[in-house]
Amino acid sequence: MEAVTNATFKVFKGEIFSIVGPSGSGKTTLLRCIGGLETPDNGTIVFNDRTLFDSKSGINIPPEARGMGYVPQTWALWPHMKVKDNIAFGLRMRRIPREEAERRVKEIAKSLRIEDLLERYPWQLSGGQQQRVAVARALVLRPLLILFDEPLSNLDAALREEARVWLKNLLKELNITALYVTHDIHEALFLSDRIAFMYSGRIKVIDTPEGIYSRRDIPELAQIFGYNIVRANVLDHEKGLVELHGSHLTCDNPHKVKGNALVIFAPSEVKIGYGSIKAKVLRKSFVGGYLEYTLKLGDSIIRAISEVTVKEGSEVFIDLSKCTIAPS
């Protein structure tokens, strides 16, 4: 079983590069290979013109010699060391003189506003404080790359929002190159310069946040963004003419898909009371400002957002203001 295949990508200096995907998509495995915590079967990892791993020539630099920083999901603060010793650990390993190490620990603690915590032990800190210490421990090394593995997923929702802003400002201020793994697409959109979307061990697409958000032609990505995905038959792939539940409809067809295909559209793109596609209203919910409908369209269940009021159980006609064809 291969966890990751054909994952080719480049990260540029000073960039926050995120790897996003559902759990089990192989994003963490990829990160661990880059850190040297796992050994890929084949391939090459080059970092700053230095080959870290090459299956052909048998090069495999151990993690400690790769010069990176790491912030794991659990933060992994060593409970037997005080905060200051946690932060200073990497400096000691690099044999940085004691005075300089102390100065750098104080400096980073000050800029992360954790200087009051230096004498404490990790178990005496709150979740948010622990997360800051874990980031400080990586930053103090001034590494060329920091690996983040879902560093915010152990914070509660309110703190997570705050930490997101804090982290982005910090990384940009210090011009740090970061490889950031998360399953939360919105976190990735907010933080990243570029995003790689992974699905079942493959990188499906690499793009800017705006670019990723517009890639509704990738069903796995569309699903995460809450698009409707229904099966349909393409009648004319040049014009994008599809047959959907007995009605004809024209959609974008960027991949020129023929025959059986998926039609992808946003809930807000469903126009109730227009067009000729028949649907049945299963459920109507008021969610503030507008109504959210669950509709039965042939064998598929879709969501629609509308200001129009129709009854539950009634038959309605709908139209799609925009739709995209993707291979099934």
Partner 1 sequence: MLERIMLLAVLAAGFIALVLIGIVYAQAVNAQPLYSYRFELSLDTLVSIIKSAEFKSALINTLIVALLQTIVGVLGGLIIALAIHRVYVPYVGRLEPLVIAPFFIAPVIWGFAWNYAYGPSGYIPLLKGYDPFIVGVLCGLIHVPHAYALIASGLLSMDYSLEEVARLHGAGPLKAIVKVTIPMLRPSIILATTLLLILGFEQFGMPLVLLSPYGYDVLTTYMYGMPNRYPIDPYPKMAVVASLLLTITISLVILQRYLALREIRRFTTIGERYRGYYRMDVPLYIKLALTLIVLLYVIGAVLIPLGAVFLRSVNPLYGGGLYFTVDYYRIIVGSESYRNVITNTIFVALIAASLGSFLYLSYGWVILKGPRRAIRIYADILSTLPRALPGIVAGLAFLWLFLFTPLRPLMYTHLGLALAYAILWSTLGVRLIVSSLVQISQELENVARVHGASLTRTIMHIYIPLLKKSILISWLYLFILGIREYSVPVYLATGKTQVIGSTIVLLIGSGGLGIIAALSSITIAVSLVLTAIIFKIGWKPY
By CB under 8 A, name the binding residues for partner 1: 28, 35-37, 62-64, 66, 68-70, 72-81, 89-90, 93-94, 121-123, 127, 130, 137-138, 141, 147, 153-154
Dihedrals φ, ψ of 319, to 5°?
-135, 160
Name the minimum Å distance from CB 63 to partner 1. Answer: 4
Cβ atoms of 87 and 137 within 8 Å: the answer is yes
DSSP per-residue string spanning 204-243: EEEE-HHHHHH-TTSHHHHHHTT-EEEEEEEEETTTTEEE
Name the minimum Å distance from CB 39 to partner 1. Answer: 9
Nearest residue (CB) to partner 1, 93 versus 301: 93
Name the minimum Å distance from CB 266 to partner 1. Answer: 34
34-39 own/partner pairs: CB under 8 Å, 24+ apart:
34/68, 34/147, 34/179, 35/63, 35/66, 35/68, 35/70, 35/147, 36/60, 36/61, 36/62, 36/63, 36/66, 37/63
- Length of the chain as a residue count: 328
The DSSP code for 116 is G
Name the minimum Å distance from CB 21 to partner 1. Answer: 16
The amino acid sitting at 136 is A
Nearest residue (CB) to partner 1, 131 versus 228: 131
Nearest residue (CB) to partner 1, 151 versus 219: 151
Name the minimum Å distance from CB 64 to partner 1. Answer: 5
Nearest residue (CB) to partner 1, 146 versus 266: 146
Nearest residue (CB) to partner 1, 69 versus 240: 69
Give how far Cα 127 sits from Cα of 13, 77, 315, Å.
30, 11, 51
Nearest residue (CB) to partner 1, 78 versus 290: 78
Nearest residue (CB) to partner 1, 81 versus 241: 81
Name the minimum Å distance from CB 197 to partner 1. Answer: 22
**Gap between the Cα atoms of 20 and 35, Å rounded:** 17
Structure tokens, 8: 């080719």
